[in-house]
Amino acid sequence: MADFLSPAERSARMARIRSNDTLPEVTLRRALHRLGLRYVLHKRGLPGKPDLVFPKHRTVVFVHGCFWHRHKGCKVASSPKSNSQFWTDKFDRNVARDGRVQDELQAQGWRVFVVWECELQSKARTNLRAETLAADIRRVRRT
Ligand SMILES: [Zn+2]
């Protein structure tokens, strides 16, 4: 298939996708911990394998790469020019899967938050994002 990434770029990107311990994510986790939130990593048995699970708050958090998960309006979520039908189909499947996973989790009583990779581009931004996320997680749900 035609490709817009060099093999080196591709393998670097794939490695990042596979790794659950990218540096921005670790920084986010540390900040949340500092803010007093206790989480479980990669808890088994939950739809979509959320990155962070906060059992006490019945909340899960996904850290999504903007490219693969199609962050709306984000410049990282550009579409490759070549083989565009292939990519459109692939992205549509990813987005549909994300939606399904969120529905399943919510049906099980979980609140779902998404943190985008582009929100973690510096340590300062990551710490800020951790603060708003912590506030969201602590907000008492009214159902
Ligand atoms: Zn983004």
All structural domains of the chain, each given as residue ranges with its CATH number in brackets, are 22-138 (3.40.960.10)
Q: Determine the Cα–Cα distance for residues 75 and 29; give it in Å rounded to an integer.
A: 25
- Give me the mean pLDDT over the 117-143 stretch: 90
CA 24 to centroid of ligand 1, rounded, Å: 13
CA 111 to centroid of ligand 1, rounded, Å: 21
Look up tokens 């996708």; give the residue.
Answer: 17
pLDDT tens digits, 24-63: 889 999 999 999 999 998 778 899 999 999 999 999 999 9
CA 48 to centroid of ligand 1, rounded, Å: 20
pLDDT tens digits, 67-93: 999 999 999 898 888 889 999 999 999
Nearest-10 crossing angle of helices 123-138, 23-34: 50
